[in-house]
Amino acid sequence: MHVGTNHWALLVINIKEKEFHMHDSLRTKDDRDIPQYMEELRRYMKSKHIDAENWSLRYPDPCPQ
């Protein structure tokens, strides 16, 4: 997913654990784009009959640089 103006991060959907995993080499946890992407993704998943409303967002370590 596109974060900010010139940075990309990988968002993994972990269905088994009911979590989203953000792999972001710059660790932009406070980026304003992330909540918007998460809301859009949850809305999409709901349209596919997957309730991800209470899934957590994790930032696994280590993250490749």
The domain of 44 spans: 2-58
Residue 65 lies in a domain: no
For the stretch 16-52, pLDDT in tens is 999 999 888 777 656 677 788 889 999 999 999 999 9
- Residue 53 confidence class, pLDDT cut points 50, 70, 90: very high
pLDDT reading at 10 higher than 90 = no
- For every residue of 1-65, DSSP letters joined together read -EETTTEE-EEEEETTTTEEEEE-TT--TT-THHHHHHHHHHHHHHHTT---TT-EEE--SS---
What's the pTM value of the predicted model, to 2 decimals?
0.74
Tell me if 63 is assigned to some domain. Answer: no
Overall domain count for the chain: 1
* pLDDT at site 2: 61
For residue 41, tell me if it sits in a domain: yes
